Amino acid sequence: WQLLLVGIKQGLDIIVMDSDIVVFRDPFPLMRGDADIEISTEHFWPEQHLWRRWVRPEDDLSTGFIFARPSYRLSSFLVDFLRVNHWEVLLGGTPRDPFDQRVFNKFVSERAAACDPCVTGSYLESDIDLGVATLGGRVGSQADQALRIRVLDPVHVVSN
């Protein structure tokens, strides 16, 4: 996460991938360029499962493949994420959740619920209202100031 933040602050378009990802073709034509982050999902049917309360939250956004474009929104979001999650041990001696993908998904969901909207989502041609997890959902009046996350189509980008 720190390296992603450094790249963003340096003005770089950056891809962060897990070491077990295999790329069979140029991934850039798959990117729409309309979001601060374009990220894979572990859902086979995102249109049915993204941000639903009955699925595992760590499956929504897979941190195995992230394409990020520099923006103040993303930089601020990553700074906040790192600030909130930098402790290895929480107060009272409770160990921090070691699964950064779950931690990231929970942070995104909490941020989306905190204001209207702090985070907006999209998948294929639909906006996703992260507050109620519906495709084609409402987008708040301040959407231009929100962090934009596009979930990539698992037909083309798979990481889990």
**Residue 135 — pLDDT band, cuts 50, 70, 90?**
very low
Q: What does the pLDDT read at residue 138?
A: 46
What percent of the chain is predicted at pLDDT more than 70? Answer: 79
* Confidence check: pLDDT of 131 > 60: no
**Alpha-carbon gap, residue 34 to 152, rounded angstroms:** 12
Q: What does the pLDDT read at residue 7?
A: 95
Q: Which range (73-77, 91-95, 109-113, 128-132) has the least confidence?
A: 128-132
What percent of the chain is predicted at pLDDT more than 90? Answer: 23
End-to-end C-alpha distance for the chain, whole angstroms = 18
Q: Is the pTM of this model over 0.75?
A: yes
* Confidence check: pLDDT of 143 > 60: no
Write the pLDDT tens digit of every residue in 50-64. 878 788 878 888 888
* Confidence check: pLDDT of 84 > 50: yes
* Confidence check: pLDDT of 106 > 60: yes
Q: How many CA atoms lie within 13 A of 56 on its CB side?
A: 11
User: At a CB cut-off of 8 Å and minimum separation 6, what does 107 contact?
Assistant: 81, 84, 85
**Alpha-carbon gap, residue 18 to 112, rounded angstroms:** 26
What CA–CA distances, in Å, run from 117 to 1, 76, 92, 101, 137?
Answer: 23, 15, 33, 22, 12
Return mean pLDDT, the chain. 81
Q: What does the pLDDT read at residue 70?
A: 95
Q: What does the pLDDT read at residue 111?
A: 83
